[in-house]
Structure 1
Amino acid sequence: MSFLDKIKQGASDAAKKASQTVEITKIKSQISGKEKDQDKVYHQIGLSIYRSHQEGNVANSENEVMSCCQQLDELQSDIQMLEERIKMIRFEKTCTCGKVVALDTRFCPDCGTQLPQEPRPDSTVGEIRVICSKCQTENELNTKICYVCGSEFSGGSDAYTDQHGQ
């Protein structure tokens, strides 16, 4: 490999890393927003229970609390999907013991569990993505349901774009 080829390869690798960093930062921002939403729901649960306590019957808050708990379950599921997306971008996976390891790791360094082999996905600049028409999140091309809001993609109504928005 010539000197110029090495420089080109280094620049290409740096561009990929920068693109990954930007995408991870966007996802972490989404996670932060969902965590703030969780805090609001926790506050709502507390207010509901306290109002019922003041009325002398805490059981009155049960329906509202259950509704809030369902909202929390949905938010937590969204956060887990976003965290999995970050792992995919970083080429990582999680062992059953909870240790996060590189995607090509065959055995967990903490517990020794044999991990399933997962092919390392190719990430190419200019990759085509599907943009959700409801939440404007980028999704993989073959995605059927938005990983953030759960909206189903229909035929041609959602915008298709490459990573540069073209």
Structure 2
Amino acid sequence: MSFFEKMKQGASDAAKKAQQTVETTKLKAQISSREKEMERIQTKIGQAVFRAYAEGDVSQSETEVMDYCEALASMQQEIEAIEEKIKSLKAEKTCGCGKVVAAEVKFCPDCGKRFPDEPRQEDTTGEIRVICSGCKTENDINAKYCIQCGEDLAKH
């Protein structure tokens, strides 16, 4: 690859990264907006319950509170969908244990759980890595298990 091809590739990669950052920022703003709306609804729930309490019959607020709770549940689902879009943009996925990892990882570095097989994409970031003695795959410095074969990295 010539010098100019490398420069062109580098500029293209930088543009892709910038676009990813812009999209991620937009999605995070949407999450923030929904979270603020959820806080307003939660305040309305409290006001409705207190108003009913002050009138001596808390049960009269039940319908209003249930409507608000349904709106909150809907917004929470929207937030989760947006978070999944962000993970997709960043090429990440979440393990059942809660650890967020790169999309190409086969095993969770925290709990060792195997992820379903998916197409791999190579991405090197220049970070300090731990090499698995079994399969020679590079792993994050804090990984407990190999992301490729599931080998316990603490054994070596």
Q: Fold-level match, TM-score > 0.5?
A: yes
The one-letter amino acid of 1:89's match is L
1:13 aligns with 2:10: no
Residue ranges of structure 2 left out of the alignment (5+ in a row): 122-156
The separation in 2 between residues aligned to 1:118 and 1:77, in whole angstroms, is: 25
The one-letter amino acid of 1:108's match is C
Task: Give the TM-score taking structure 1 as reference length.
Answer: 0.71
The number of residues matched between the two structures is: 121
Once the two structures are superposed, residues 92-135 of structure 1 have per-residue CA deviations (whole angstroms, 9 ceiling, x without a partner) of 001111110000000000000001122258xxxxxxxxxxxxxx
The separation in 2 between residues aligned to 1:41 and 1:119, in whole angstroms, is: 42
1:44 aligns with 2:44: yes
> Mapping of 1:95-110 within 5 angstroms?
95-110=95-110
The one-letter amino acid of 1:83's match is E
Match of 1:2 in 2: 2
> Mapping of 1:126-145 within 5 angstroms?
none
Match of 1:53 in 2: 53
Cα 1:90–1:120 change in 2 (3 A) is farther
Q: Is the 8 A contact 1:91 1:120 kept in 2?
A: no
Query: Counterpart of 1:42 in 2: which secondary structure?
Result: helix
The one-letter amino acid of 1:52's match is A
User: Which portions of structure 1, spanning 4 or more consecutive aligned residues, are displaced by more than 4 angstroms?
Assistant: none
Task: Give the TM-score taking structure 2 as reference length.
Answer: 0.76
Percent sequence identity over matched residues?
55
Match of 1:161 in 2: none
Q: Is the 8 A contact 1:97 1:111 kept in 2?
A: yes
Match of 1:87 in 2: 87
Structure with higher Rg: it is: 2
